[in-house]
Amino acid sequence: MRFGDRKYSYERLNRMIDDAMTGEFKEGDYTEEELSKLEVKWMRFLKASSLSRENIEKDKRVMQELVSDISHQTKTPLANMKLYSELLMEQELDRESSMLAERIYEQSNRLEFLIQSLVKMSRLETGTIQVETTSAPVKALLHDVLLLAESKAAHRKTGIVIEYDGEDCARYDKKWTVEAIYNILDNAVKYSPENSQITIWVTVYEMFVRVSVMDQGIGISEAEMAQIFTRFYRSPRVQQAEGVGVGLYLSREIISKGGGYIKVDSTEGVGSIFHVYLARKSDPA
């Protein structure tokens, strides 16, 4: 093969790869008559890859529609179950009946929370929800997180102390990052003993702002450390506690999409520290 022909083949292969990477590869753009054997094989491989990519995207859309349909169809029945159980709890019932009515109400709330979490997971994974970050004060973020958590913390007699009063900014999506950090704080409240304390502080680095949440709870075993961010994982030690095991998974997805990451330090029986790293600049790489 002459140098000019070889160069032309390289350029054509390179164009094929570029088209595949951008999702614009079309078999019709290349004919076997004008391609070498290697190029023909490469074309067939890219065609198969393109079809696979299309099938994955199609499956994502189908799953998103299914989850949305489930969410829509269950709204009214769930609302009715909660209403009827509330009406029952207002009646003069015997102890067992009253307890059953409360259980129905609690399980209805749990099911509603699970469905909402499934919808959020589906939208995050398919890209329907975009985590759009802007530079904003970290203090405002912590204030909003505390507002969500303080009622449950007070009920469980758990103190929350924020050891930060600075004016530093980080890049985050207000709605979703508040939820991500709240999920971590909510776990700290749920799994900490009464009269214990949760401490939040901030460390500023050149590229990131780190928000740390430390509790005095049950801690995480070394064997469980790799599993806590997976969907629906719940430690055998907390099966009886409220929750469905999606909070930390959502937190990691949200923070990751915002250009940050989460690290954990924990000692079983002593407590845990979750470190949330938020980017200070639009491109922290």
Provide the CATH number for the domain around residue 197. Answer: 3.30.565.10
Same domain, 44 and 79: yes
Please check whether residues 117 and 172 belong to one and the same domain: no
The pLDDT, as a whole number, for residue 131 is: 85
H, E, C per residue of the chain: CCHHHHHHHHHHHHHHHHHHHCCCCCHHHCCHHHCCHHHHHHHHHHHHHHHHHHHHHHHHHHHHHHHHHHHHHHHHHHHHHHHHHHHHHCCCCCHHHHHHHHHHHHHHHHHHHHHHHHHHHHHHHHCCCCCCCEEEEHHHHHHHHHHHHHHHHHHCCCEEEEECCCCCEEEECHHHHHHHHHHHHHHHHHCCCCCCEEEEEEEECCCEEEEEEECCCCCCCCCCCCCCCCCCCCCHHHCCCCCCCCHHHHHHHHHHHCCCEEEEEEECCCEEEEEEEEECCCCCC
Domain assignment present for residue 284? The answer is no
Instruction: Check residue 212 and give its pLDDT.
Output: 97
Ranking 86-100, 166-180, 230-244, 257-271 by mean pLDDT, the lowest is 230-244
Structure tokens at 64: 């998103």
pLDDT digits (tens, 9 = 90+) for 23-57: 565 555 555 544 555 555 656 666 666 656 666 56
At 61-76, the pLDDT tens digits run 666 666 667 766 777 8
Q: What local confidence, expressed as pLDDT, does residue 259 receive?
A: 93
Average pLDDT over residues 139-164: 92
CATH of the domain at 105: 1.10.287
Query: Is 50 exceeded by the pLDDT of residue 3?
Result: no
Confidence of residue 115 (pLDDT cuts 50, 70, 90): confident
Q: Kindly state whether residues 63 and 189 are assigned to the same domain.
A: no
Name the residue with tokens 């070394």.
222
Quick check: 211 pLDDT over 90?
A: yes
Tell me the residue range of the domain where 27 lies.
Answer: 1-129
Residue 285 binned pLDDT confidence (cut-offs 50, 70, 90): very low
Task: Point out the domain boundary residue: 129, 151, 185.
Answer: 129
- The answer to whether the CB of 186 falls within 8 A of the CB of 247 is yes
Q: For residue 285, tell me if it sits in a domain.
A: no
Q: Which of 124-128, 223-227, 253-257 has the lowest mean pLDDT?
A: 124-128
| 235 domain-assigned | yes
Tell me how far CA of residue 71 lies from CA of 15, 84, 113, 251, in angstroms: 44, 20, 11, 21
Give domain status of residue 94, yes or no: yes
Tell me which of 141 and 112 has the higher pLDDT: 141
Torsion, Cα 179 185 186 190, to 10 degrees, reads: 170
pLDDT in tens, 169-208: 999 999 899 999 999 999 899 888 888 999 999 999 999 9
pTM of the model: 0.67
Mean of all residue pLDDT scores within the chain:
79
Report whether pLDDT(284) > 50.
Answer: no
Q: What is the pLDDT of residue 121?
A: 73
Identify which has the larger pLDDT, 94 or 11. 94
Question: 98 with 143, same domain?
Answer: no
**Is the same domain home to 119 and 1?**
yes
- Indicate if 102 and 156 belong to the same structural domain: no
Considering the domain architecture, whether residues 76 and 210 belong to the same structural domain is answered as no
**Structure-token match 């109400």, residue found:** 105
d(CA 66, CA 72): 10
Q: Last residue of a domain, which of 129, 147, 175?
A: 129
Q: Are residues 123 and 168 in the same domain?
A: no
Residue 160 pLDDT: 94
Residue 261 counted as domain residue = yes
Domains identified in the chain, total number: 2
Highest mean pLDDT among 46-60, 90-104, 234-248: 90-104
Q: What is the pLDDT of residue 55?
A: 62
Residue 78 sits in the same domain as residue 16: yes
Residues 54 and 144 in one domain: no
Of 94, 114, 129, which marks where a domain is finished?
129
Cα 164 to chain centroid distance, Å, stands at: 26
Q: Are residues 37 and 117 in the same domain?
A: yes
Percent of the chain with pLDDT over 70: 69
Average pLDDT estimate for 226-254: 76
Residues 198 and 92 in one domain: no
Q: Taking 70 as the threshold, does the pLDDT of residue 277 lie above it?
A: yes
Residue 232 covered by a domain: yes
Q: Is the pLDDT of residue 159 over 90?
A: yes
**pLDDT value at residue 49:** 66
CA–centroid distance for 194 within its chain: 28
Beta bridge partner(s), residue 171: 135
